Structure 1
Amino acid sequence: MTAIAVTIAGSDSGGGAGIQADLKSFSANGVYGASVLTALTAQNTLGVTAIHDVPPDFIRAQMDAVYSDLKVNATKIGMLSQQAVIHAVAEGLEAHDTGPVVFDPVMVAASGDPLVADEAVAVLIDVLVPKADLITPNLHEAARMLDGTVADGEAEMSRQAERLKALGAKAVLLKGGHGSGAESVDLLLTDDGETWLRAPRHETRNTHGTGCTLSSAIAAGLAKGAPLVEAVRLAKIYITDAIAAADSLQIGAGHGPVHHFFEFWET
Structure 2
Amino acid sequence: MDSLGALSAFVQAADARGFTEAGRKLGVSPSAVSKAVGRLEERLGVRLFHRSTRTITLTAEGSCFLERCRRILCEMEAAETELTQTQTEPQGKLRVSMPSMGILFMPKFAAFKRHFPRIEMELDFSDRLVDVIDEGFDAVIRTGEPADSRLMVRRIGSYRKVLVGSPAYFEQTGFPKQPEDLAGHAGLLYRYATTGKLDRWPLRRDGELVDVPIQNSVVMNTLEPQISLAEQGLGLACIPDLAVRRQLRAGTLVSVLDDFLPDTTLLNVLWPSSRNLSPKLRVFVDFAVEDMLDP
The TM-score range, normalised by the shorter chain, is under 0.3
**Structure with max Cα Rg:** 2
Q: TM-score, normalised by structure 2?
A: 0.20
Q: TM-score, normalised by structure 1?
A: 0.21
